[in-house]
Structure formats: C-alpha cells, structure tokens
Structure 1
Amino acid sequence: MERKALIEAVRTQMPERRWQHTEGVMQTSIVLARRFGAEPERAELAAILHDVAKFWPVERMREAIVEENRYTDVLAYDKELWHAHAGAYAAGRDYDVRDPEVLDAIRYHTSGRERMSLLERVVWLADLIEPGRNFPGVEQIRTLAEHDLRGALIEGFDTTIAYLLAKKKRIYPLTVLARNDLMTEGG
C-alpha cells in the first residue's frame, strides 16, 4: 500500500487526538532513525501503524491475538499491551506489511523485549518521547535521546516501570527483561 493511502486508512482507525500522537511518533521515529543509523522509511512505516488497533474493542484485540496464535501470553496482562500485538497482526493481515522487523517494532512498541533491534528501539523511544508527550522526566529522556540511545531507553524503561509500580499494576515480564538486557550492554 502506498504511503498516502496507508496514512488515510490508519487515520480512520483512531480519534484525531491519537492521530496527532501518531504523527508525532512518525516524525520522532524519522529523526531518531537518522540520528542512530536505522532506516527512516521503515521507522516511519512502523510508526504509522503502531497504534492502528489502539481503539479496537477489547474483544477484537483478543480475537486478533488468538487468531495469530503466537504471542497469547500477553492476554494474561494489562489490556493496554494488547493493541501492540493486535496491531502487528493487523499490519500484516490488513496492510500487507511483510517486513518482520517492522512488525516486531509495532508488536513491542509498548512493552519492549530482550535483544531489541535498532528499529524496535527507535520506535519504542519515539512513542515515549514524541512532542505531544508530557510526563515527569520526559525532558531528560529527550535530552539523552539527542546523543545516547541506550541511556534514553534505560531512562524510559525506568520511568515506565516506576509508573506501573506507582499505579500498582502488574509488569509484563518482557518490559523488565528489556530493561535488564539494556543494562548488560556495554557502557
């Protein structure tokens, strides 16, 4: 699907405010991809589709995850994670995205995981720090993202985990594993 048609198709799947977020993630993904050596076109494609399933009914998300039958463990955790997995499935099924790394960048844009690819890292961070985001610590993460991808990711995961703990929410194991994996990398 051509970029313009894809954008129009995805835009209809969400309210205007979420589309503005998606545009911010698209722009931020391109900047981060160029800065850290990922492919901007692939980063933008993942960003366009990262929240395609965000406003689906919960049962539709569940059905997509069950139908794909590969990552059903996510169903035991917070429903906020489900849209990423359902979205990756929809990207392949409905929008003919075949690039496994783009699909994984969509799938793990909320949770992260161990051994994240460069593209996954760029999209995960772009989703967290796009210009419309406003939460305590976001400016520090943005500053780190100007020169230190790993450091920005660690700070981002720390902030995410602290938020989940403060809200007394269960933490998806991949999120902890992603953070710990980054901690064991050089530096």
Structure 2
Amino acid sequence: MKREDIIASVKEQMPERRWAHTVGVMETAVLLANRFGEDPVKAELAAILHDVCKYWRTDEQAEIIRKHGLPSDLLDYDKELWHAHAGAWLAETRYGVTDEEVLDAIRYHTSGRENMTGLDKVVCLADYMEPGRDFPHVQLIRQEAEHSLEKALLAGFDGTIRFLLDKGKRIYPLTLAARNGLLVELERQAAARQTEQ
C-alpha cells in the first residue's frame, strides 16, 4: 500500500488530536533517525502506523491478541499496551508491511523490550518526546535526545515506571527488561570510552 493511502486510512481511524500526535511522532522519528544513523523511511512508516488501532474498542484489540497468537500476558496488564501488538499485526495484514524491523518498532513502541534495535528506540523515543507532548520531565528527555538515544529513552522509561508505581499499577516485564537493557548498554558505552582514553 502506498504511503499516502496508509496515511489516509490511519487518519480516519482516530480523533484529530491523536492524528496531530501521530504527525508529531512521524516528524520526530525522522529527525531522530537522521541524528542517530537509522533509516528515516522505516522510522516514518513505523511512526505512521504506531497508533493505528489505539482508538479501536479494547474488546476488538483483545480479540486480535487472542485470535492471532499474540502475547496473551498483555491482557493481564494495562490496556494502553494492547494497541501496539494489535497494531503491528494490522500493519502486516491490512497494510502489507513485511519489514520485521518496522513491525517490531510498532510492536514495542509502548513497552520497549530487551536488546531494542536502533529503530525500536527511535520510534519509542519519538512517541515520548514529539512536540505536542507535555508532561513532567519531557524537557529532560528532549535534552538527552540531543546526544544519546539510550539516555533519553532511559529517562522516558524511568518516568513511566514512576507513574505506574504512583498509581499502584503493575509494570509490564518487558518495560523493566528494556530499562535494564539500556543501563547495560550505557555501561558498555562508558567502558568503551574509558578503554579509548
């Protein structure tokens, strides 16, 4: 399916405010991809589709998860996680996206995962920091994103985890794995810099 057709289809499935968010994520993902050496075309495609079924009824999202063998443990956690996996399935089956990197970036844009790819990080971070976002610590995330995908994303996950703890909610294990994985990456980067000196 052509880019313009995908955009038109996604836009009609969400309120205007959410479409404005999607446009912000698209632009930010391209900017971050260019900054950190990732593919901007893949980043934009994943960003276009990242919230494709966010405004579907939750029972429809749950049905996709159950019927198509997606991780059923998602259903035990916050409904905000469901649209990412359902959306990746939709991107492949309805929109003809076959690139696994793009599908994974859609799939893990809310939870993260251990050993995130560069594209995963770009799309997840773009979702956190697009210009329309306004929440505590978003400026810190944006500042870190000037220099480090990993530090910016770590700040994002830390904020999410704090929010969930404050609300007394369960934390999806992949989010903890993603945060821990970023810490390991940052430790490796620091060790490599030490070795170079």
**CA deviation vs aligned residue, 1:36-95 (integer Å, no higher than 9, x gap):** 010000000000000001000011101111122032221111111001111011101110
**Within the alignment, does 1:162 sit opposite 2:123 as a pair?**
no
State how 1:61-76 maps to structure 2 within 5 Å.
61-76=61-76
**CA deviation vs aligned residue, 1:132-186 (integer Å, no higher than 9, x gap):** 0001100011011011111111111111111111111110000001000111112
Residues in 2 aligned to 1:62 and 1:70: alpha-carbon distance in whole angstroms: 10
**Within the alignment, does 1:109 sit opposite 2:139 as a pair?**
no
Q: Name the TM-score, length of structure 2 as normaliser.
A: 0.93
* Unaligned residue ranges in structure 2 (runs of 5+): 191-197
Partner of 1:152: 152
**Within the alignment, does 1:176 sit opposite 2:176 as a pair?**
yes
Partner of 2:40: 40
* Unaligned residue ranges in structure 1 (runs of 5+): none
Q: CA deviation at 1:6?
A: 0.8
Give the secondary-structure state (helix, strand or coil) at the position aligned to 1:95. Answer: coil
Whether the 8 Å CA contact 2:113–2:174 is kept in 1: the answer is yes
Q: CA deviation at 1:13?
A: 0.8
Aligned residues: 187
Whether the 8 Å CA contact 2:43–2:119 is kept in 1: the answer is yes
Partner of 2:81: 81
**Aligned alpha-carbon RMSD (Å):** 0.7
Residues in 2 aligned to 1:27 and 1:42: alpha-carbon distance in whole angstroms: 12
- Residue type matched to 1:111 in 2? S
Residues in 1 aligned to 2:45 and 2:158: alpha-carbon distance in whole angstroms: 27
Partner of 1:16: 16
Partner of 1:94: 94
Q: Name the TM-score, length of structure 1 as normaliser.
A: 0.98
Give the secondary-structure state (helix, strand or coil) at the position aligned to 2:22. Answer: helix
**Identity across aligned pairs (percent)?**
59
Question: Which protein is bigger by CA-based radius of gyration?
Answer: 2
